[in-house]
Each structure stands twice: as structure tokens, then as C-alpha cells.
Amino acid sequence: MQREVIVRLDDVRDLSPRLEAIWRVLERNGAAVHLGAIPVDVTEPYAQDLLARADRSPVPVTVQQHGYRHVNHSSGKRKFEFDDERTFVEQRDDLQQGRDALIRLFGDRFDRVFVPPWDRCGAHGMRALAELGFAGISVIATSSAPDHPQVPKVLMTTDPVQWKPVAMHRPWDQTLREVQSTLDATGYAGIELHHEIMDDDAAQGLDWLLGQLHGVRYPTMREKAQRG
């Protein structure tokens, strides 16, 4: 069975030292780099830096749209930028502005896959993504985001962070076991990362984990979404 892994980086704004460190780990392991960029936070100079870095990278580098402002609009306990409390039109306008900004900033490196903040998206958001011609949505496998026939899902199966009570990376051998059992069961695993909370130990843990995955392919989200 072909074994495939996708690694996603969330909350990208600029080429920060921590992003650079994780980017190098991915390169060392031959993994495609997926930059989930927050449209309103990426300035023109930030984008130029990221593009120049991407051009020097020996692995495929693509940009995804991570929300629009990355703010919570939900009155409930769970955070949502794109839930069903705001109108369809409000959400579509946000998604469109974000999409247009990333097309302008990143051109073809932007693959038109949407990564909703907190891995959550409601039915209005899904419909808006379809209407705006998004190539897909990437969410964690346990996400409540409804299915939409025109918006393929690129699932993340593993989040190495335990978020509560304080965010910390679980032991990397535990995360590896989770990734390997998912790979054994389905031939695919998706790992979502938050590089800005990854210290040197976490970067080393990730490097070690990827080094244990023998014979896996690292497709891009674009490729995976196209396959449906």
C-alpha cells in the first residue's frame, strides 16, 4: 500500500525564526511545505520573503488560506471564524477578500485550499467556498465541518499538541505511534503543526518522527484535493 503524509503549518504570517526552523526540518526529510497564511496579517514584504524562501526550497512549497482575520465570531464556547451565526454573505465576502489577497501576494503558490481557524467551519462557509471555487478545505479528522460535494476535504489526522490546560507537545514517540497506526490503517496521515509554539525540543522531536517514517510519499494538498 502506498503511504502518504501531509504536514500543514498553521498561523503563518512572516518568515519567523521558528517557521524557518521547522521549514528546514521538513526539507531535511523531503516533506512538502504547506503554509497556512492568515490573509490580513501577511504584508507585501512578508510575502516577498516567504516567496524568496520558497524559491530556494528543494521541496514543493504551497500556500493555503488560513481564515481571513483569524478572529472568533462565535457567541458559543467553541471558537469559530466561519460558523453559522454570521450571514452567508458576510462569510463569503471575508473568504473572497482573503482569497484575492493571497492570489495577489502569492500567485500560483496559493493552491486555493482553505484551512479554517480552529479546524471549524459551518454550512454557510462550506457553501461560500464552493461558490468561490476553492479547491478544497483542510480540517482535522474530528472536525464538525459538514461535507460539500464541491469542496474536497484534506484531512489532518494528528495534532501533536495537547492544548489544555496549557499548550504542550505530547511525547514524540506517542505522536509517532498515532501517525504510524493511522498510516497502517488507511495509508495516509496528516500532521498539523503550530510552528510558533515549537521550541528547539519540539523541532527535534518532529525531525526524529519524520525520520522514522520510511518509504512515505509527501504529496501536496493541491494534489490530494484534486484526487478528491
Q: Kindly identify the residues of this chain, within the stretch 138-167, that bind Zn ion according to CB under 5 A.
A: none
Nearer to Zn ion, 99 or 176 (CB): 99
Q: Would you count residue 119 as binding Zn ion (CB under 5 A)?
A: no
Q: Locate cell 505522536: which residue?
A: 175
Are the CB atoms for 149 and 127 separated by under 8 Å?
Answer: no
Q: Decide: residue 39, CB within 10 A, 0-12 exposed, 13-18 middle, 19+ buried.
A: buried
Task: Give me 228's grid cell.
Answer: 478528491
In angstroms, give the least distance from the CB of 201 to Zn ion.
22
C-alpha span between 144 and 39 (Å, rounded): 23
- Cα Dmax for the chain: 46
Q: Would you count residue 117 as binding Zn ion (CB under 5 A)?
A: yes
Stretch that binds Zn ion, among 3-11, 42-50, 83-91, 125-133 (CB under 5 A): 3-11
Q: Would you count residue 98 as binding Zn ion (CB under 5 A)?
A: no
Q: Would you count residue 10 as binding Zn ion (CB under 5 A)?
A: yes
Q: Kindly identify the residues of this chain, within the stretch 16-75, that bind Zn ion according to CB under 5 A.
A: none
Backbone angles phi, psi at 132, to 5 degrees: -90, 5
Stretch that binds Zn ion, among 100-108, 117-125, 146-154, 185-193 (CB under 5 A): 117-125
Q: Which residues bind Zn ion (CB under 5 A)?
A: 10-11, 117
